[in-house]
């Protein structure tokens, strides 16, 4: 994801923060680059975001993408620190 910022965004600045909250870890990655249309995410040929989403779903976390063309990208990943066994 950080790689995505480097690869696609043409950003000057990328801000990464990681924090722990309760049983979750929250990672946010914000860049001030070109952004993209999140409604087209399903039509992208890239495998990166898709596989991250699937893996997070599996462990009970999620990924949130906020981006607009021309307005940079803000990615939030929340994942549980302890995985509950079912």
Contact footprint for Mg ion (CB under 5 A):
4, 48
- Does position 58 interact with ligand ATP (CB under 6 A)? The reply is no
Name the residue nearer to Mg ion (CB basis): 24 or 56: 56
Q: Identify which range of 16-24, 47-55, 56-64, 77-85 contacts ligand ATP by CB under 6 A.
A: 47-55
Name the residue nearer to ligand ATP (CB basis): 2 or 82: 2
DSSP annotation string for 2-50: HHHHHHH---S-EEEEEEEETTEEEEEEEE-S----GGGGGG---SHHH
d(CA 8, CA 20): 28
């Amino acid at each position: 994801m950080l790689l995505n910022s480097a690869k696609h965004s043409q950003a000057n600045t990328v801000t990464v923060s990681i924090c722990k909250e309760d049983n979750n870890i929250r990672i946010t990655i914000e860049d001030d680059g070109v952004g993209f249309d999140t409604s087209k995410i399903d039509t992208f040929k890239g495998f990166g975001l898709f596989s991250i989403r699937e893996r997070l779903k599996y462990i009970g976390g999620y990924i949130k993408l906020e981006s607009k063309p021309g307005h940079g990208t803000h990615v939030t990943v929340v994942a549980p620190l302890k995985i509950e066994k079912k």
